[in-house]
Amino acid sequence: MKKNELNYKELKNFCNPNIFKFETTAELDNSNVVYGQDRGIKALEFGLSVDSKGYNLYLEGPSGVGKTMYTKKYVTQIAAKKKVPDDWCYIYNFENPNEPIAVSLSAGYGKDFRNDMNTFIDDMTKNIKLTFGNEDFEKQKNLMQSNFEQKKNNLLEKLNKTSMKSGFQVKAAQNGVYMMPVIDGKAIEEEEFNKLDDKTKKAFEENSSVVQEQIIEAINQIKLLEKENNKKIEEWQSNIALITINAHINPLKLKYKKNIKIVSFLDNIKSDILKNLSLFINTELPKEISKPQKEEQLKPWLNYRVNLFVDNSNLSGSPVIMDSNYQYHNLFGKLEYENQYGMLKTDYTMLKPGLLHKANGGYIILQASDLLTNQICYDSLKKALLVKELNIENNIEQRSYMVMISLKPEPIPLNVKVLLLGDANIYHALLALDPDFKKLFKIKVEFEETAPRTEANIIKLARFVHSFSEKENMLPLDKEAMAKVVEFASKISDDKNKLSTRFNEIGEIVAEASTWAKSSKKKIVTKEYIDKALAERIDRVKKYDSKYLEMIEENTLLINTSGYEIGVINGLTIMTVGDYTFGKPTKITANTYIGKNGIINIERETQMSGPTHSKGVLILSGYLGETFAQDFPLSLTSSLCFEQLYNGVDGDSASSTELYAILSSLSEMPINQSIAVTGSVNQKGFIQPIGGINEKIEGFYQICKMRGLDGTHGVIMPAQNVKNLNLSDEIINSVKEDMFHIYAISTIDEGIEILTGVPAGKKNKDGKFSAGTIKYLAYEKLKHYSENAKPQNYRRILAINNNYRTTKNRQKIFTCFFYTFYSAFGSSFFAVSATSGTFSTGVTSWSDTVSCSSVSVATSLNSSFIVTSFVSILAPIFSFVLADFPSLSLK
């Protein structure tokens, strides 16, 4: 084994199946399945125990770590020990019908109250009608009516005797009282009256005014008698009705005597029944109604109903509410409507509770991302928590063409603990943008993505697998399959000494493995099915990975995995397509030559380099300066390029790779192409850890395997990333068989020695590098550059004619050509003006200016233009012939 090479045992933290004391996970229980969340659980417990205003909780953690599952389970356990909150009812407001009254009752009494009132309504509508429909009532009523008729008749007889003295007879009719002239003791009709002589008529007319006054006086007396009689009948009826009403209402008042609102409600009902007694006596509605009337006016007993708004009779402990519907009405309640005669009609019985009403007195668990998608919901929640009461507001669209009758129910006091679940980004955004957020959510609960890989946590993971399998009706796992799940949990945690808490992803693997086992008619999931689930999971989404591999196989992408080259190295990159991440090598090249420009990042020049990558390249100048430029100024221009990479690059994980390429170019020592490199470097030459180490190694291994492993292939990686290794069994076996090698290094010196087989070199007592070492050769080259560098006013214009300035990729192609040409010709320099199209060179021995004509240039900057441009620039130097360029200056 070579220096810095890792043993195959270091490439993965294998799980020994013998740590499990079961044959299958079916033998485990479902208790204590959450691990690694001790700090979060402690904060959760404290937050739930604080009853002060504003101590709601924000539970922070990435999706899939089990925070929802654990929170619901834990809160349910806490809620079971709490008091069951009161029921809430809405009743009719007799004083202001548009403002229903909210009534609270102990849990279970709300249903009793509703049922009591329904029974009361049924009994009253039946008993009052029966009471006033029996024979005794009718006899008494007829007797009272007879007395009135007798008095009325006596008044009419008296009136008739008086009117006879004036020559008139008085008769009573349905429409009133009328009089008729009397001649010879006989009342005459109008025709006979008209035949009388004028003198007789005049005498009757004079007497008629006296009789009319007598009639009016008699009618007034009759009305007084009728009014007195009706009053007596009403009082009599009320007294009879009161006996029936009190028989039913007094027990209710006694039962609910401690509730002032209900007692007042019952008193108002008594008065309303007496006021509308006739409607109770005759419960049949009129067959013909001149215009639509409200049903409540025709059936007053409908207002005696109770709307059982929140019913907690079936609860044991306080409520725990969690739902996926975050519409406004579902959260805050609503007022329903029905169409009646072209009008949207409603009443207090159509008030419907929301999730917050149901959670009142308990807990509600909300997903922050879903809640924030509807701003009005978040704002209304804050308002409710601040004022500690719940209103039901009518949010029906105002553009409705129908006339709406709305209500303003009495608010209900709010006492609820809100648990808001979300990630760190949402938390910090709310903290920065909403000043009320911190006032209302004073407790932050943090859930971790990973946990230590201890035996206790491994057992908890096994319990989770059992719980999940039982809940989802999946097959149990044997101990070897469970060991594979543990290894997978370590892999997705990106640390072989930890376990992931992303239970969602672990559950997916268990479900898929169980499905494969079921399809094979198995009763238990074995390790083969875990492996198959993992392999199939990748195979389903590796289209772009496969295409990339195919392009390398066909040499469309030039990647060498054998031989040695100067200034050329295989770097390892990560590519992400949707939810799939894979690693692949990319060729990185470096050219070095005399100049003052330092390290030129071609990706940066063409605006294809991200800030982190650009920073990594700039760090290289610091390393070169400290290592080699202590005795002379650094006169170096070095161009770096990610070859055939046209979609941009970011990250500093290739900075050590780029430095190796520069050192190779300076020392002219070739690099072994069978070894790929990843790792960040600082200015002092120390290797720093990077991400995606497993994907990068597996990506290079695929190519080496495709071309045939010969024992020379391998990867150089940072020593700090050894803890992140969790490679496939195939790679581990290849390392074990000495067909693939993985080197973990801490410094640039260690890496360059592996890549070139030449010592890196260290300074002796005189400050000189040992002869023949990489650093000695690089030092001598840089010293030569410094001695031969002459002051020149270099102008490096990378822009080309506006016709050719199209895309970043095409600019990159031209830039690569420019630095390749400049490197090949040493101190010669050329530039292409973006406006004049003039070529200038740094060849000082020529002074002629030549106009010439030659080959044509493609109008778009593509690969053919590179070849054409190369010929066009070399032509005047050697043959002084050039075609379509305006002029060539040789100075």
Summarised one tens digit per residue, pLDDT across range 746-784 is 999 999 999 999 999 998 888 899 999 999 999 999 999
pLDDT band of residue 382 (cuts 50, 70, 90) is very high
Out of 187-201, 306-320, 790-804, least confident range:
790-804
Contact 497, 514 (CB under 8 A): no
Greater model confidence, 41 or 847: 41
Residue 137 has pLDDT above 90, yes or no: no
Nearest Cα neighbor of 271 from 226, 230, 303, 293 is 303
Q: Is the pLDDT of residue 92 over 90?
A: yes
Which tokens sit at 160? 């008739």
Of 79-93, 397-411, 520-534, 723-737, the least confident: 397-411
Mean pLDDT of 342-360: 89
Given this model, what pLDDT does residue 363 score?
A: 96
Q: Specify the 3-state DSSP secondary structure of 525.
A: strand
Q: Is the per-residue pLDDT at 217 higher than 80?
A: no
What mean pLDDT do residues 589-607 have? 87
Q: What is the mean pLDDT of residues 190-219?
A: 72
Count Cα neighbours of 335 within 13 Å in the Cβ-side half-sphere: 23
* Distance (Å, whole) CA 677 – CA 656: 8
Residue 875 scores a pLDDT above 60: no
State mean pLDDT over 631-651: 87
> CA separation (Å) from 106 to 250, 311, 413, 876?
21, 10, 15, 102
* Alpha carbon distance 418, 445 (integer Å): 13
Closest CA to 366 of 322, 410, 427, 336: 322
Mean pLDDT along residues 86-114: 95
- The predicted pLDDT at position 800 comes to 38
Average pLDDT over residues 175-193: 68
Are the beta carbons of 511 and 532 closer than 8 angstroms? no
Neighbouring residues of 95: CB distance < 8 A, sequence distance ≥ 6: none
Q: Which band of pLDDT confidence, cut at 50, 70 and 90, is reported for residue 393?
A: confident
Cβ partners under 8 Å of residue 601, min gap 6? 609, 613, 614, 617, 640
For residues 41 and 136, the model is more confident at 41
pLDDT reported for residue 297 = 58
Strands (E), 520-567: 564-565
How far apart are alpha carbons 57 and 734 in whole angstroms? 51
- What's the one-letter identity of residue 435? P
Distances (CA, A) of 336 to 99, 346, 352: 15, 7, 7
Q: How do strand 598-601 and strand 637-642 relate by DSSP bridges?
A: parallel
Burial (CB count within 10 angstroms: exposed 0-12, middle 13-18, buried 19+), residue 138: exposed
Exposure on the CB side of residue 494, measured as CA atoms within 13 A: 9
Pairing of strands 307-310, 87-91: antiparallel
Q: Using the predicted structure, report yes or no on whether residue 872 has a pLDDT greater than 90.
A: no
| Mean pLDDT computed over 553-571 | 93
CB 415, CB 382: distance < 8 Å: no
pLDDT band at 845 (very low <50, low <70, confident <90, very high): very low
Does 528 score more than 90 pLDDT? yes
Please compute the mean of the pLDDT values over residues 674-693 and round it to a whole number. Answer: 95
Q: What is the pLDDT of residue 791?
A: 57
| Of 155 and 374, the one with more pLDDT | 374
Q: What is the pLDDT of residue 842?
A: 33
Nearest to 340 by CA among 330, 352, 350: 350
Q: CB within 8 A of 366, min separation 6: which ones?
A: 322, 326, 381, 418, 419, 420, 421
Share of the chain above pLDDT 90, in %: 53
> And the tokens for 818?
């420019």
3-state secondary structure at position 578:
coil
Gyration radius of the chain over CA positions: 49
What is the distance between the alpha carbons of residues 784 and 762, in angstroms, rounded to a whole number?
A: 20
Least-confidence region, from 2-6, 187-191, 472-476, 692-696: 187-191
Give the integer Cα–Cα distance in Å for 212 and 208.
6
Q: What is the pLDDT of residues 440-470, one digit of tens each?
A: 999 999 998 999 999 999 999 999 999 999 9
Whether residue 487 is predicted with pLDDT greater than 80 in this model: the reply is yes
* Mean pLDDT computed over every residue of the chain: 82
Question: Residue 62 — very low, low, confident or very high, per pLDDT cuts 50/70/90?
Answer: confident
Query: Whole-angstrom Cα distance, residue 548 to residue 575?
Result: 10
pLDDT above 70 for 831: no
What is the mean pLDDT of the segment spanning 586-608?
88
